[in-house]
Amino acid sequence: MELEELQSSIGVHFRNKELLIEALTHPSVEKCPSYERLEFLGDAVLNLVVASMLYSLFPGDPEGRLSHRQSALVCKSTLAMLARQMNLGSYIYLSNSEEACGGREKISNLENVLEALIGAIFLEAGFETVACFIEKHWYGLAVQSDSIKANPKSALQELLQAKGMKPPTYSIINKLGPAHSPIFEVEICAGGKRNRATGTSKKAAEENAAKQMLEDLTAETR
C-alpha cells in the first residue's frame, strides 16, 4: 500500500516493483540491492535535464552563469528539500541501526534516494517521463534563482512566456501617505490571477507584486 501511495504521488506506476524497492533501499539493509547504482544513474539524468532546462530558460546567460545556477539546483540541500516535500523519507527501507539514528531525516539519505528514484523512473518509463518529473519539481526553483530574485518582473515575464501565457499587467490602485513619503499599492494580473502589493515607489510596489505572483505560479508547478 505504501508503494502505491508513493507511485500515485510521483505520477509514475512501476511494472517492475523490484526496481522501485531498490531505489528506496539504504545500503545498511543487508542482502538487498541498495540504491547506490540507481543513485549514480539518477545523478547523471538529473544534471542533463536541469542543464537542458536552464539552457532554454536563460538564453542570454554565459556558460559560467548557467553552471552556477545548475550547481544551486542539484546541490545536497536542494535535493533534500525536494525529497522532504515528496515525503520520500517515510518510504526508505533502513536497517534498525540506521532507523535508530534518524536515518529518515538525514540529508545524505534524502538526496541519495531522490537521485535513485530519478534513475529508477528513467529505467522504468524512459527519458521523456523522467524529464517531466524533474521539470515539475525543479522548474519553480530554476526561475527563482538568485539573479531572478533581483529582477522579479523579468522572471515573471519569462515564466509566463514559457507557459504560453500573456504578459502581466500592473495598475496603481492607491497612493497613501504624505507627498514626501508615499506608499504605492499596485494590482498585478497574470496567469488568470490577481495580486496586490505595496512599496515606497511604483517600481518597488510592482516588484513586490511580481514576487508574490511568482510564488503563486511556481507553487503550482512544484
Predicted confidence (pLDDT) at residue 175 exceeds the cutoff of 60: yes
Query: What per-residue confidence (pLDDT) applies to 78?
Result: 84
Which among 22, 98, 111, 115 is annotated as catalytic? 115
**pLDDT greater than 70 at residue 162:** no
Pair 171, 187: CB distance under 8 Å = yes
pLDDT on residue 152 = 79
Report the alpha-carbon distance of residue 194 to residue 171 in Å, rounded. 11
pLDDT for the residue numbered 97: 93
State pLDDT tens for residues 68-108: 889 888 988 889 889 998 999 999 999 999 999 888 988 89
Q: What angle do CA 165, 150, 69 make, to 5 degrees?
A: 80
**Which amino acid is residue 12, in one-letter code?**
V
**Average pLDDT, stretch 142-156?**
70
Check pLDDT > 80 for residue 20.
Answer: yes
Amino acid at 60: G
Catalytic residue among 43, 111, 124, 206: 43
pLDDT grade for 222, boundaries at 50, 70 and 90:
very low
216 is catalytic: no
What pTM was estimated for this model as a whole?
Answer: 0.68
- The grid cell for 114 is 531522490
Report which of residues 23 and 197 the model is more confident about: 23
pLDDT at 130 > cutoff 60: yes
Band of residue 151 on the pLDDT scale cut at 50, 70, 90: confident
2-149 and 152-221 have identical folds: no
The domain ranges of the chain are 2-149, 152-221
Is 99 annotated in the active site?
no
- Are residues 39 and 119 in contact, defined by beta-carbon separation less than 8 angstroms? yes
Mean pLDDT, the chain, rounded, equals: 89
Please determine, looking at this structure, whether the domain spanning 152-221 carries the CATH number 3.40.640.10.
Answer: no
- Angle of helix 127-143 relative to helix 76-85, nearest 10 degrees, comes to 110
Q: What is the mean pLDDT of residues 144-157?
A: 70
Q: What is the pLDDT of residue 178?
A: 86
Mean pLDDT within 167-182:
90
Task: Check if CATH label 1.10.1520.10 holds for domain 2-149.
Answer: yes
